[in-house]
Amino acid sequence: MSNEYSVTKKHEVRMLIQKMRDGMIKELSATVDPKLGITYPEAEIYLKGNAQSTIEALYQEGLLVKEQKENVMVCRKCGGSSFRVMYRCPNCNSLNLRKGMTIQHLTCGYTELESVFAERNYICPKCKKKLRALGVDYVKPGIQYVCNDCGSITQHPTILLKCWTCGELQTLDEAKYMEVNTYLLDHTKRELLERVTFNLAPIVQRISALGWVAKKDYKIKGRSGIEHTFTLALWPYEHALHSLPEIVVDIHMDVAEDVHVLALYAKIIDTGIKNAIFAVVPRANEKAKALAKYYEITMVEAENSEVLTEKLTLTIEDKIKKLLIS
């Protein structure tokens, strides 16, 4: 995987992979929408732009494995998957066709729909002779299509798909053939995963040993009515889940800027949290550091997720000790 061009350089992509690693998202399953075509609803919560191309890039980089479930035709213009099926004469391109069982009169070679012969009491419209017996003087070649404009007969008219969403007219070959896949995280790619995600399990274990409870991706409704999510929320065991967390942690897997610190500060103010830690991989810029210091947010920087686990654990343990003393 090339670090320079990897889609995992995007923060939202790393968050998606993190949710999958933590087991909060078991798989990325496709939904076939009549207007939108193939979509991945769970991935689109986190990803911006074309989620499908990002997911496929993660597969190409080795982080995901895919299982094909089915296939679908989508519009070459808009990607929609709802079509009106039409038949076109391969000889003159007319859409004015009739379909039905055909009869070929062996005496004169005339071929038409059986309904045309039936209307004339099975007297041939061409030679005016009455048909006698199937297999003797006439045969039934099967279901065919007769063009009302040029008179040609075919068993294989050109199939056209008219998109209900945008109106684009296209043949089967011109429409896009798309695989409908389910994607799963490849847990065997540990080295790759360590570059773009973090493992909270060792932190939770060490915090639990101190008599504290830790909850991942904890949601708190703020005074504004908006629900905020923190990467980690911590309580002393006896207060667990009965009050606001004593400590919250947010982890940012990208270079942190001042806007990211401001976003965390807004969540803290709205929820009334007193102690916050902002952990960053690989680093924060100077403006972000200055803002964190001003707003009394503890910042932890680490060059990779392995170092982050140790540094963050020590920072949390230190903050717990200070709270116990106070």
C-alpha distances out from residue 37 to 28, 53, 69, 176, Å: 16, 13, 15, 11
Fold entry, domain 198-325: Trna Endonuclease; Chain: A, domain 1 (3.40.1350)
Q: What is the pLDDT of residues 263-306, one digit of tens each?
A: 999 999 999 999 999 999 889 999 999 999 999 999 999 988 88
Q: At what angle do helices 11-21 and 51-60 cross, to 10 degrees?
A: 70
Q: What is the pLDDT of residues 160-178, one digit of tens each?
A: 999 999 999 999 999 999 9
Nearest to 143 by CA among 124, 127, 157: 157
CA distance 26 to 67: 14
Question: Rounded mean pLDDT of 80-89?
Answer: 95
CATH architecture of 7-80+176-194: Orthogonal Bundle (1.10)
CA distance 52 to 40: 7
| Paired strand residues for 303 | none
Contacts of 87 (CB under 8 A, 6+ apart): 95, 97, 99, 145, 157, 158, 159, 160
CA-based radius of gyration for the chain: 33
Q: In the chain, where does the domain assigned CATH 3.40.1350.10 lie?
A: 198-325
pLDDT of residue 277: 98
Q: In the chain, where does the domain assigned CATH 1.10.10 lie?
A: 7-80+176-194
pLDDT of residue 123: 96
